[in-house]
């Protein structure tokens, strides 16, 4: 998995830190938050903590949440609960799943319905047809017949999902159907970590799992949250602008540069249009700010597929959610909902054209 160009939390530029010290005129400098980073679930996880001494504990708590979910939802572990549901595809028996799994799958299926399949948690067979998810690399493009078969198997309506008092019973109605929660599970993992850290009394920290971020408190007094840099999808070193992620808010990004396969020298990105079983083209990246990380994760993928017009219409049903789109074209253009456009401060170092979408009316 290639991980670049995710939004990042950045320390204040040195100049503004110095200016603050000059103006405040007294007291020791407030140290910048410490960042602890590690590898997990095939990606980079991090916590940034204002209280440096709390960082190891915060890291352990966050990792325990990620581990708990990975056991359930891993697409790679043959003994995960997700693998058990996929293995039972086509059988007449349903599989009982835990409350956490049920919450993620229930939200994923609701998002599929709401977006008319633009978000599709049954996309597994299409991913494999293109050589993702552990399938053999493709020497040539998949044949139309293979794609049509994969598309038919990705029918999210062919899932029986019955909530129970202990989670849900799930049945995939056709053999070879495969759930893929790659577009939502990391967001939920961040929410679980956020809840455990909050409950344990941690304050003023930022959790990050592969670019899915959620804030507790603020990075420094009066900062109002955490400064988040939006990177250019065309150059991981370039940050095009910043915004402040407020206490409790989450941000997620989807990008065509994050994971891809190369077939006959051409790159094909990992976000699929399940109506055509083809990788989405024309979009380089999307970023969503939302009240929780599962919603941010699911919506960043959804609006990547839908584009700005349909995507912003869908966001009307999601209070507190804002988005930006960066089309896969030069010169660099950012299309943003009014709420996010108002919060975005350009760095000035990477010029871009900003298009602000019309305000959404409920
Ligand atoms: P994200 O990085 O959150 O946008 O998620 C992308 C991942 O979600 C891909 O690597 C696939 O595992 C999966 N995926 C691809 N296309 C879709 C889609 N249209 N709807 C839901 N999940 C998808
Ligand atoms: Mg996502």
The Cα 133–Cα 135 span in angstroms is 6
pTM of the model: 0.92
Tens digit of each residue's pLDDT (9 = 90 or more) over 319-360 = 999 999 999 999 999 999 999 999 999 999 999 999 999 886
Whether 274 lines ligand 1, by a CB cut-off of 6 Å, is yes
Q: What is the distance in A from the centroid of ligand 2 to the CA of 322?
A: 14
Tens digit of each residue's pLDDT (9 = 90 or more) over 180-229 = 999 999 999 999 999 999 999 999 999 999 999 999 999 999 999 999 99
Which pLDDT does position 361 carry in this prediction? 53
The Cα 28–Cα 343 span in angstroms is 30
Answer yes or no: is pLDDT of 18 > 60.
Answer: no
Contacts of 350 (CB under 8 A, 6+ apart): 232, 235, 238, 239, 240, 332
Which pLDDT does position 14 carry in this prediction? 31
Mutate to test the pocket of ligand 1, among 190, 212, 271 (most ligand atoms within 8 A of CB): 271
| Tokens 């399938």, located at residue | 135
Which pLDDT does position 5 carry in this prediction? 39
| Tokens 């990246």, located at residue | 285
Question: Taking a C-beta distance cutoff of 8 angstroms, is the pair 110, 148 a contact?
Answer: no
Which pLDDT does position 31 carry in this prediction? 82
Whether 254 lines ligand 1, by a CB cut-off of 6 Å, is yes
Tens digit of each residue's pLDDT (9 = 90 or more) over 138-173 = 999 999 999 999 999 999 999 999 999 999 999 999
Answer yes or no: is pLDDT of 107 > 70.
Answer: yes
Mutate to test the pocket of ligand 1, among 7, 125, 183 (most ligand atoms within 8 A of CB): 183
In terms of average pLDDT, the best of 5-19, 24-38, 298-312 is 298-312
Mean pLDDT throughout 39-68?
Answer: 96
Mutate to test the pocket of ligand 1, among 159, 272, 275 (most ligand atoms within 8 A of CB): 272
Domains defined along the chain, listed by start: 1-362 (3.10.520.10)
Answer yes or no: is pLDDT of 102 > 70.
Answer: yes
pLDDT band at 76 (very low <50, low <70, confident <90, very high): confident
Nearest ligand to the C-alpha of residue 293?
Answer: 2
pLDDT band at 40 (very low <50, low <70, confident <90, very high): very high
Whether 180 lines ligand 1, by a CB cut-off of 6 Å, is yes
User: Percentage of the chain with pLDDT > 90?
Assistant: 83
Provide the mean pLDDT of the chain. 91
Nearest ligand to the C-alpha of residue 123?
Answer: 1
Nearest ligand to the C-alpha of residue 1?
Answer: 1
Which pLDDT does position 16 carry in this prediction? 30
Answer yes or no: is pLDDT of 115 > 70.
Answer: yes
Whether 183 lines ligand 1, by a CB cut-off of 6 Å, is yes
Q: What is the distance in A from the centroid of ligand 1 to the CA of 35?
A: 28
Which pLDDT does position 134 carry in this prediction? 87
Whether 292 lines ligand 1, by a CB cut-off of 6 Å, is no
Answer yes or no: is pLDDT of 56 > 60.
Answer: yes
Ligand 1 atom having least distance to the Cα of 286: 4
Mutate to test the pocket of ligand 1, among 104, 257, 270 (most ligand atoms within 8 A of CB): 270
Residue 333 corresponds to which tokens in the numbers above? 């253009």
User: Percentage of the chain with pLDDT > 70?
Assistant: 91
Which pLDDT does position 28 carry in this prediction? 57
The Cα 124–Cα 108 span in angstroms is 14
Tens digit of each residue's pLDDT (9 = 90 or more) over 121-146 = 999 999 999 999 889 989 999 999 99
User: Higher confidence at residue 269 or residue 7?
Assistant: 269
Among 282, 280, 230, 222, residue whose Cα is nearest residue 251: 230
pLDDT band at 296 (very low <50, low <70, confident <90, very high): very high
Whether 119 lines ligand 1, by a CB cut-off of 6 Å, is yes
Answer yes or no: is pLDDT of 289 > 80.
Answer: yes
């Amino acid at each position: 998995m290639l991980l670049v160009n995710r939004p990042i939390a950045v320390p204040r530029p040195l100049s503004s830190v110095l200016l603050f010290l000059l103006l405040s005129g007294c007291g020791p400098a407030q140290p910048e938050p410490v960042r602890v980073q590690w590898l997990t679930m095939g990606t980079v996880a991090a916590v940034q903590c204002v209280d440096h001494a709390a960082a190891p504990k915060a890291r352990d708590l966050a990792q325990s949440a990620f581990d708990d979910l990975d056991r359930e939802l891993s697409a790679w572990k043959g003994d995960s609960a997700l693998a058990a549901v996929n293995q039972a595809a086509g059988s007449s028996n349903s599989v009982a799943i835990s409350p956490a799994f049920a919450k993620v799958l229930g939200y994923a299926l609701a998002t599929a319905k709401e977006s008319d399949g633009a978000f599709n948690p049954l996309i597994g067979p299409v991913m494999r047809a293109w050589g993702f998810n552990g399938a053999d690399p493709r020497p040539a493009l998949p044949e139309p017949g293979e794609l049509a078969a994969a598309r038919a198997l990705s029918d999210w309506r062919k899932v029986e999902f019955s909530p129970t008092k202990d989670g849900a019973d799930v049945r995939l109605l056709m053999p070879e159907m495969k759930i893929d929660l790659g577009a939502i599970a990391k967001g939920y993992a961040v929410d679980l970590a956020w809840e455990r850290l909050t409950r344990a009394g941690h304050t003023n920290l930022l959790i990050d799992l592969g670019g899915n971020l959620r804030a507790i408190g603020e990075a420094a007094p009066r900062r109002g949250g955490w400064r988040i840099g939006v990177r250019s999808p065309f150059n991981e070193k370039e940050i095009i602008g910043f915004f402040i992620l407020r206490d409790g808010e989450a941000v997620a990004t989807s990008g065509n540069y994050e994971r891809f396969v190369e077939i006959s020298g051409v790159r094909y990105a990992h976000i699929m249009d399940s109506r055509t079983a083809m990788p989405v083209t024309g979009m380089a990246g999307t970023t969503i700010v939302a009240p929780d990380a599962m919603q941010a994760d699911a919506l960043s993928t959804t609006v990547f597929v839908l584009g700005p017009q349909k995507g912003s219409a869908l966001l009307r049903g999601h209070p507190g959610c804002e988005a930006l789109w960066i089309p896969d074209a030069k010169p660099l253009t950012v299309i943003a909902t009014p709420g996010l456009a108002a919060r975005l401060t350009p760095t000035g170092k990477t010029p871009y054209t900003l298009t602000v979408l019309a305000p959404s009316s409920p």
